[in-house]
Structures are given as structure tokens and as C-alpha cells.
Structure 1
Amino acid sequence: MSPTMAGDDHGTVEARYGAEAATHFRNQGFWADDSLSSWVDRWARERPGSRAVSDGVRELTFAQLSNQSARLAIRLLELGIHAGDRVAIQLPNWVEFVMAYAAINRVGAILVPIMPVYRHTEVLHILQSAEPKVVLTTGNFRGFDHAAMFRELRGEAPSVSRLIIARSKVVDSSFEERIDDTVAEGQSATALAAQLGPYPHSDQGHAIIYSSGTESTAKGCLHTWNTAAFTARFLARDVFRLTAVDTMFMPSPLAHTTGIEIGILAPLIAGAQIHLLDVWDPEIALARIQQFACTAAASATPFVRMVLDTPSSRRHDLSTMRVWLCAGAPIPTTLAMEFAEVFNQGTLLPLYGCTEVGVATVCHPDDDLETISTSDGRVLARGVDIKLIDHVGERVGAGQEGEICYRGPGAMLSYWRDHENTRAAIDDEGWHHCGDLGRVDADGYLRVTGRLKDIIIRGGQNLSAREIEEHLLTHPAIKDVAVVPYPDERLGEKVCAFITVQDGTPLSVSDIRSFLTNKRKVAIQKVPEKVLTIDELPRTASGKVQKFVLRKQATSTVR
């Protein structure tokens, strides 16, 4: 039914789901024969002059978004990009991200989003794994030259043959070009459409989104248009209830699952506007929500706390905001009540999901305050099944804790070119084992209670403790290390590193920060905010580090 896709034995819809399940998903309206680019072109025909996307500096109408993405798509074809090829984007939350995403989809290529905060180490891993032929990025943003980084990595990532640069006047003509030159006025929309041909098949590879999880290197989650759009369709219809008059406010990175599925796909499927914030600042966020009359948003829960703590929050007209979805931390009753007061009865709703399956459970605007503050919602749509299992794989009853497993139309096909991890995560019955613990009550509401994964959720982003540990162990003065989370009111969790050192001389937080960012070149959010030097790490008789002891110790230092 679908074109062949590179990857492991789950790299096609037939291998992952089977023809019967795929047909069922279509018959039930969970999947459709459309695409991101077909939605963009539809709204360009029906509402050409309406604003599609803005970021406070630039904006595009639906007609401009359609036209410029088509011109970039033609250029991608000229650069040898065809269906199944990978194209990476490392851009802030700018309109160029949305336009480039639509162009990539228009030629049937596979989007590889890269978080803007990622640096040499993380970026090189993604480039070597996904092997994109073209990268869209920028020059200097927030004191870091992204284009220069890709120039440095070129020798170790030979698949990349071209950089397309946004908002930068400085380019190396032998390797780079400016996106503004690429999408300059030229052929008509009709002529462009004739060159581009049919839209891509909705079951072919659409995006490889990298998620760190528990391993030391990130895994690429291979999604089709249909598996990615499933979450967007039902959030847009049943939770946000988006129409053409709505505006989605997106402060979360577009390179993240939240940014892609909620910030781009949900509003574009509904024909709503998108407003982007490229640098998080709660004061600016409030001003933008008022200025652009934003009606919906999604972010990590700590973002909401920062907005409400901003002195000017009571002075802005925020009455247009109806629904704000939160992930990564529970929503306390007091936070939900305060949000409703400041946002004029707007509703703060929790969700549970991950890059591998999109949104699994979510609360709805009709749920009461107790449900919102004590659960992570029910299944997103009737096509989703959730079960909780014990340590031997048996399903547990209502109210009992177990590992959360997902089966439904939003699950990825596989981890990109990673047979071992794919087989470990997806069992023979098609259940995706999420690695998190939870309880489901008699009414079907899930509450996430913990995690099997060794991760820190900092500001809604999953950080692998093992990855940070492996970087720290390369420091010449560090003998042993264990990384654990500790609670933080603003970000949910922060990173604490317990270290033993060679000569007994403690290393400061600034020492560690300098080493990780300058020597190891890792993203700043992975740098520990707390470093504690101890004589030896607590271990079990079998030699495993007793991280629960260290978590208690790290937590006690902030009380």
C-alpha cells in the first residue's frame, strides 16, 4: 500500500501495522490521504490573504506560505532531493521553519528537525544517523554561529552537500545559499505546481524526530504523515476545537514533537493561524498573546508558572486564550485555578505522550478541576489503546501501578535504522512500551507515577542521565559520576552531578560547565546546575549505583 521506506523491519506501514489495520485506521478517519503541503495549498486557494504564520519579525499569508514553500521545493529538486531523502532543519521558531517544512513535504522528502540548542556533539550524531543531503539553518543566533558549526562538521558528515541559510547575509558560496534568494519571486503558482507533480503518499516516511530517552545517544523516531498527523487531527478537533478564527501560540521549539504536531500540524489542518516565539521570555509571551489574540497554546508546565509569576500578567488582556496544554509535570490545583483567573476562564489541561507515539492521553475542556489536577487524561481518541503491565508483562487492574504501553494510529514505525531498539520497544502484538509507570482509574484516566527510564525532565525536555555521565567521565579529574534530578519550582527538575575526583580537589559548577560546553560541545541544558563531590558513590552488592539515595541527597540540598 505504501512506498518502500529505508529503516529496519518495521520501516513500512505494512511491516509495522499490517494492511488490515491500516485500512481500519482509514475507514475510521484516523488516517487520511492528504499531506502537510496539500493543506497549505488548500488554504492558499480558499483564504489566500489570511495570515498563516508570524513570529514577531516576519509573517506569511497562506498564499505566500504556499508560493514560497513551492519555490523552495523546486530548489530542493534541483539539488537532487527526492522522495525518501532526508532534509534537516536547525532553525529557531521562525516562519522559515514552517515554510521549509512544507517544502520538504512537497517533494516527499523526510524532515529531520534538530533542536536549536543542540551543538556539535548532538548535531553530528543526527547528521551521521539520518544522513541528510541538505540542511536549513541560520547564521549567528543568540551568540552562536550555526552555519559555522555545520561548516566544521562537514568533513565528518559527508552526506550534507548544501546549506540553505535563513536571515544571514554571510554565506560561503561554494557550500551555501540564502533562503531569501531561493524563494524570490518567479514562476506562477500554476507553473510551480506543474513542476512539482502529485503530493506525497501519506504512508511514506515523513519525519525522523530524535528523542534521547534513556540511552546515551539519541534515537530517531520514524513517522509517516499519518502517524504524526493523527495527534494533530484529534487535538485540533476535540481538545483545542480550532477553527479559522483561532491562533496557536507556540513557545516550545518547533523541532520538538510538541512544536511539530501542536505548533504546526494542528493549526494548519484546521486552517488556523500560527504565532511563534523564538526566545522564551514570559513578558514577551504575554504581550504576543494579547497582540495576536492567541486562543491556544502548548508548552512544558514550568512555562505557565513563569507566565503567571510575571508582574505584568494581570495587566494584559488575555481573554482570548481558551486552552493551554501542558506536559512534563503535573498541574497542581492552585496552578489551574490561577491560570483560569489570569486568562479569564481559560483552561489549563495536562497530556501524556512522547516522541514515539505523539499524545497518548489528554484531558478535555469539559473535565472538572479535580480530574485536571489529579490525572493526565484519557486516551486521545477511540483508536488508541493503553494498557499497564507488571514486571512479567501481565496487565494490571484499575488503580494498580504498571508500565504504560500504547497501541494505536499515532505510533512511530520504528527507530531509524535501529533494529535492536525497535524490537525492544515494540512487541509482537504491536504494543509500544513507553518505559513510564502509571495507574489508570475505573473511568480510564491515566496518572503517570514514575519512570523506568533514567532521565531528567528539565523544562519539559528529556535529558539522558547516562549521556551526561559519559561526557563527564572523559574529564581527566573525574573518577566516577552519577547524574540525578532534583526538584525545581520553575523548571520541574534540574540536573545534579555527584562526582568522585582523582586528587580530592572539588570541581565547581563553572568548571563543569566550561568543560561540557567548550570541550565536549554539548547543549547547555545538559550542564548540571549542581555538582557535589563525594568520596564514593553508594552502590548495591551487585555494584549498581543506588540513585534513589542520591536523589534524596540532591533534593535535601534545596530545602
Structure 2
Amino acid sequence: MNNDLLNGFKPHPEEIELHYKQQGIWDNQPIWELIARNAQDLPDRCAVRDLSHQLTYAELLKEADLIAAGLLAKGFNTGERVVFQWSNQVSFATTLLGIFRAGLVPVMSLPAHRQNEICHFAQLSGASVYITSGVEGDASRLSMIKQIAEQAKTLRGIYSADDMDPFDPLPKGEDDFTPPSTDPDAPALFLVSGGTTGLPKLIPRSHNDYRYNIACAASACELQSNEAYLAVLPAAHNFPLGCPGILGTLAMGGQVVFTRDASPDQCFELIERFGVTATALVPALAQVWTAATAWEAMDLSSLHLLQVGGSKLAKSDAQAVMAAFPDALQQVFGMAEGLVCYTHLGDTDETIVTTQGRPMSPLDELRVVDDFGQDVVAGQEGELLTRGPYTLRGYYRAEIHNRRAFTPDGFYRSGDRVRIQPDGNIVVTGRIKDVVNRGGETFACDEIEEHLLAHPNILQAAVLPMPDTALGERVGAAIVCNGKVPTLQTLRSFLIERGLATFKLPEHLHVRSSLPMTPVGKIDKKKILEIEGESRTNIAY
């Protein structure tokens, strides 16, 4: 074990860990064992497929072990971190499983992340390796990787799946491979936070807590061994990865169908062709799919679980989804930091369309507090605080931020405003943190503001969420300029050059002579949103 891995990792208190193990909640096994056991029990069953590839469980494990052996042969050691950026395809599963089997720890970055985020992840985690498959049609990818190679000083290896890249291909070793021993209490992977302040934080998930997460999710969704799960959302997200998602499906012995095209044309064809039984969408995609059922003639009758989460699903949209996909809708409210809530397929229609479900584990602890941190009266609205056996006790190497994000007794401050009904179901009513939730991608406003203020002609900047019927929210920017005012397009180009992820780029621009201030001297974003009739520039998507 690379002891540096534990530097900056905050585990659960020892007495609580011991209790979880004595109760059998944590089973002291590595994540990869969930899949490896099926390679023995179900070797010839299809495990993963996309439009050009498919692998049985035995083939999946064999391919993963070649990758694991290759990484270890390159001199990387158990516990070293890997920034893993891969698109939705069969090789996502083989590469991730290979990283796990080698005892390395993946940082689950998204295809949309650029050098700004990738370098941050590498520096913060101390990553030794960057492994990437790229995104089809991304002309700037090669330039991005070269910048990462120059800026990320901890990296000793960069491996690419693209044969045209001037980087080494993913190394592969010998067939005969035995995985090294793994500490089940240590981080198994790092999920990426939505970014509530500044750049995204790293969320350490141990083998024990994430296995429990997967098991609870599979149980709450009544997942069966014959499931066919369609991975539509970026696979590195917690939602499609382990809630129950890809890992839950493979743990049950089902098959995962990967797609990089989320359109109903493509996905409906896959549902019919492979008998897809379950998938997960964000509300914006659910709206598009629902509308498409009016003219698409594909047979979607196999689909019995349609999860919708990432941001709140409006009641009218939920009703439309239920009508288009009868008896399939499941609302999901959760966070990569831990807590996940589900409505259940046996719930009343009213519960499914008006709530975001209830916690998936009986050991999840919830508090709802007011602005002073005091518990509110049952049923009243307040900020949700949570802790439990699969909720982190601290972001990785973020001691200062952790003092604000956690209570002294270990409750995580979610930043979500909720009320809890007498039956235990949660209704999300809003958000406390200064973030934008664009189609399920949540990120901090102040990160984008910092980049905007780097523009030579911008004196003040405020980034704020703009309501949008399709995506929930889009990115708005209000600026005060000195000199030539940039257009929205030139501003977006400026931010792309600075390495900002494309989903964080402003889509509405408000140019003002001054920005309203609060009595304590902060920019009053609520006041900006209230101002109507001002001139603004929009960009169509």
C-alpha cells in the first residue's frame, strides 16, 4: 500500500467502523470481487457490450487483468492514483476493472473535463497516471493532453486509447495475474464533487462503503440477475456508476449496454435490440425521451426501471414520464458524497411524482436544520444534513473546506433545502449553495467568476443560475467592463482557452454599468435575477 494515499483521507471513527463490520454491513472485500466472482460463476454470460463490442464475464476479467498486469509492470504501485477519463464504451469497464485489480485508485473524471480540471485532479490527488480515451470529434484534445503533460508534474505516465495520439497505448501484461492485497478501509476510488466552492473536490469512497452503496441501491431498485442496464449518462458519475448502475448490474450478473449517444433515436433502438430493462437519466433527457415516444415506433416494453435524478424533476414532467413509460419511473435524489434516496415502484403515483424518495439504508441519519444549525420542527423546510455508512467524513485533502462542510459530530452539510414528510419521503425545495445545476452537472459559480475576472476588460463578474425548462438551469454571467465589451462568443472562446469544461461556459450574458450589492458589500445575485427587461445576449443550444 502506498501510504501517501491515506494522507488527507478522513475515515469513519474506529468504533463506528468496527460496528459496521460486526453487523456485516461492511464485508471487507475489494470492489472488483463483485465482478470477479461472476467470471467464475457465469463465465459465458454477456457482461458488457456496445454497438461494436461485447465481452462475457470471463473475457471482461481476462482483459482487465492484462491491463492490471501492464500497469504494475510499468512500476506503478498499489495505492497510487490514476486520473481516469473515459467515454461510454466496453473499454470503460475493462480499464476501470483493470485499475481496481492492480490496486490503483481511479479519480473518476468526466469526458467533458478539460486541462483546468484534469491538472487540478492530478495535483490534488498526487496522481501518477493519466488514462484517457478522449471524446469523438474533440479536435482540441491533443493540445489539451500536451498541456496536461506539461503542467501536471506528478504524472509519470500518460496512456491514450487513440492510436493517432503521440502517447503510449494502455500497457498490457501477461495472462497469469494475481491481484495484490487491498485495504478495504482505504479509498478505492475518488468521485468528483459538483463543485460548490471553486474547483471540484475529491470524494474518497472506500471499498467497504462503496460496496455497501451498491448493495443498498440494488436492493432498493429490486435489481435482478437478468437486468440489461443502458449506460446513457457519463459512466464516471456516481449515479450511472454505482446507484446501482454499471457496478450494481455487473454485481448481480446482468449485462451493461454502453452508449455515447443519448438521443432517443439511438437509445430506443438499443432498448428494443437488447431488451434493456433499466437506465438512468437527468430530467432534461427524460423530457426529450418522453416527447420522442409520440413518434418513435420502437418496442420499449422491456424497460421497467427508468431512474431520473441529478436535479429535481418537476411534477408535470414526472406525470408525463409516467404516462410515456408506464410503471417505470423512479425518482432519485442523491449525492456522490453519499446519501441516496429513491421512490419505490410500489409507491403511489402521488409519491412518485411529488417526492424525491427516501434513504436507501436504514442506517442513514438525516437532520433538517435552520440557518442557525438548529433542528427544525418535523415537516418544516431547512438544510439537509446527513451521515451514515456510505457517506464520507471529509473531502480528500481539503481540511479547511471540511470545517465548513461537516459538523463536529460528522454530519455532512448537503447544501440542499428540503422538508421530510411523515412517511419519510424527502421533498427537495431548493438549494443553499452558490452553484449551477445544468442538466445534472452541478458546479460552483465562483470557479467561473475567477476565470471571468482574468479577462483584461472585466472589472466585476457574477455567475448565476438562469431558469431553463429543458436543463433546469443554464449558466448566466453578469459583468461590468472597462474598455471593449466582449461578446458572449468571444467570452466563451476565452474561457475555453483557459481550459474550462464546456458545460460550465456562460449561455446568457448581462452587461451592466454596475452590479447591485448587499449591505455587507457582496454582489447581490438575487437582485440581479429579479431585474427584468434588461438587454442580454443568448446562445442557442
Instruction: Judge same fold: TM > 0.5, yes or no.
Output: yes
Is the partner of 2:190 in helix, strand or coil? strand
1:91-142: CA deviations, max 9, x gaps?
1112212111111111222111111111121111111111221221125622
1:223 equivalent in structure 2: 205
Deviations 1:361-405 (A, max 9, x none): 221111111112221111111011111112222211222111111
Structure 1 unaligned regions, length at least 5: none
Does 1:321 find its partner at 2:300? no
C-alpha distance in 1, partners of 2:283/2:435?
17
Counterpart of 1:294 in structure 2 is 276
> Of residues 501, 504, 521 in structure 2, which corresponds to 1:526?
504
Name the stretch that deviates more: 401-410 or 155-164. 155-164
1:213-240 residue CA offsets vs partner (Å, 9 max, x unmatched): 321122111110222232221111222x
Structure-1 residue corresponding to 2:90: 95
Instruction: Report the alpha carbon displacement of residue 23 of structure 1 after superposing the two structures with TM.
Output: 2.7
Report 1:120-519 matches (<5 A): 120-138=115-133, 141-166=136-161, 168-172=162-166, 176-179=167-170, 182=172, 187=175, 191-193=176-178, 196-198=179-181, 200-239=182-221, 241-262=222-243, 263-310=245-292, 314-343=296-325, 345-357=326-338, 359-503=339-483, 505-518=484-497
Paired AA for residue 336 in structure 1: A
Q: CA deviation at 1:261?
A: 1.4
SS at match of 2:159: strand
Q: 1:197 to 1:6 in 2, by over 3 A?
A: closer
Shift of 1:479: 1.5
SS in 2 for 1:486: strand
Per-residue CA distance 1:467-518 (angstroms, 9 max, x = gap): 1111111111212111111111111110111111113x54322121111113
Of 69, 75, 78, the match for 2:73: 78
Q: Match of 1:260, as an amino acid?
A: L
> Is the 1:400–1:439 contact (alpha carbons within 8 Å) kept by the matching residues of 2?
yes
**Gap change, CA 1:555 and 1:60, over 3 Å in 2:** farther
1:49 counterpart (33, 40, 44): 44
Letter in 2 for 1:507: P
Aligned-pair CA distance for 1:148: 4.4
Checking the alignment, whether the CA contact within 8 Å between 1:210 and 1:220 is kept in structure 2 is yes
Q: Distance in 1 between matches of 2:532 and 2:192?
A: 29
The secondary structure found in structure 1 opposite 2:32 is helix
Whole-Å Cα distance in 1 between the matches of residues 307 and 349 of structure 2? 14
Instruction: Report the 3-state secondary structure (helix = DSSP H, G, I; strand = E; otherwise coil) of the residue aligned with 1:433.
Output: strand
Q: Distance in 2 between matches of 1:81 and 1:536?
A: 53
CA–CA distance in structure 2, aligned partners of residues 354 and 473 of structure 1: 30
TM superposition shift of 1:206: 0.6
Q: Which runs of 5+ in 2 are unaligned?
A: none
> CA 1:332–1:140 in structure 2 vs 1: closer, same or farther (change >3 Å)?
closer
1:278 Cα deviation after fit: 1.6
Contact 2:81 2:105 in 1 (8 A): yes
Q: Evaluate the alpha carbon distance shift between residue 165 and residue 484 of structure 1 in structure 2; reply closer, same or farther with a 3 A threshold.
A: same
Question: 1:423 deviation in Å?
Answer: 2.7
Question: CA contact under 8 A between 1:361 and 1:377: conserved in structure 2?
Answer: yes
Classify the secondary structure of the residue corresponding to 1:447: strand
CA contact (8 A) 1:336 1:369 kept: no
Partner of 1:538: 516
Residues 271 and 201 from structure 1, CA distance in 2 versus in 1: closer, same or farther, beyond 3 angstroms? Answer: farther
- Give per-residue Cα distances to partners, 1:319-368, cap 9 Å, x unaligned: 1111122223333344333323333x2421222221211x4322111111
Contact 1:202 1:224 in 2 (8 A): yes
Give the whole-Å Cα distance in 1 for the aligned partners of 2:25 and 2:533: 44
Cα displacement string for residues 518-538 of structure 1 (whole angstroms, at most 9, x for unaligned residues): 3x1211111111101112111
Greater mean deviation of Cα atoms: 280-289 or 521-530: 280-289
Contact 2:38 2:251 in 1 (8 A): no
Change (3 A) 1:258 1:555: farther
Question: Normalised by the size of structure 1, how large is the TM-score?
Answer: 0.90
Contact residue 360 and residue 406 of structure 1 kept, 8 A: no
Deviates more, 1:128-137 or 1:18-27: 18-27
CA distance in 2, matches of 1:407, 1:454: 22
DSSP 3-state at the match of 2:164: coil
Which 10-residue stretch deviates more, 156-165 or 480-489? 156-165
2:61 aligned with 1:66 = yes
- In 1, Cα distance between equivalents of 2:351 and 2:294: 30
- Flag the 1:152–1:333 CA change in 2: closer, same or farther, 3 A: closer
Please give the per-residue CA displacement for 1:265-321, whole angstroms capped at 9, x wherever unaligned. Answer: 211221211111223323212211222211111121111101112266541111111
Secondary structure of 2:509's partner? strand
Tell me how far 1:260 sits from its aligned partner: 2.3
8 Å Cα contact 1:4-1:204 kept in structure 2: no
Q: Structure 1 pair 59/312, CA: closer, same or farther in 2 (3 Å)?
A: farther
Q: Distance in 2 between matches of 1:396 and 1:201?
A: 40
Q: CA shift at 1:4, angstroms?
A: 5.9
- TM-score, normalisation: structure 2: 0.93
Question: How much has 1:464 moved relative to structure 2?
Answer: 1.2
How large is the RMSD of aligned CA atoms in angstroms? 2.3
In structure 2, distance between residues paired with 1:242 and 1:81: 36
What is the aligned length? 535
Instruction: Read off the aligned partner of 1:247 and give its amino acid letter.
Output: A
* Mapped partners of 2:273, 2:15: distance in 1: 48
Q: Answer yes or no: is the 8 Å Cα contact 1:84–1:110 preserved in 2.
A: yes
Counterpart of 1:39?
Answer: 34
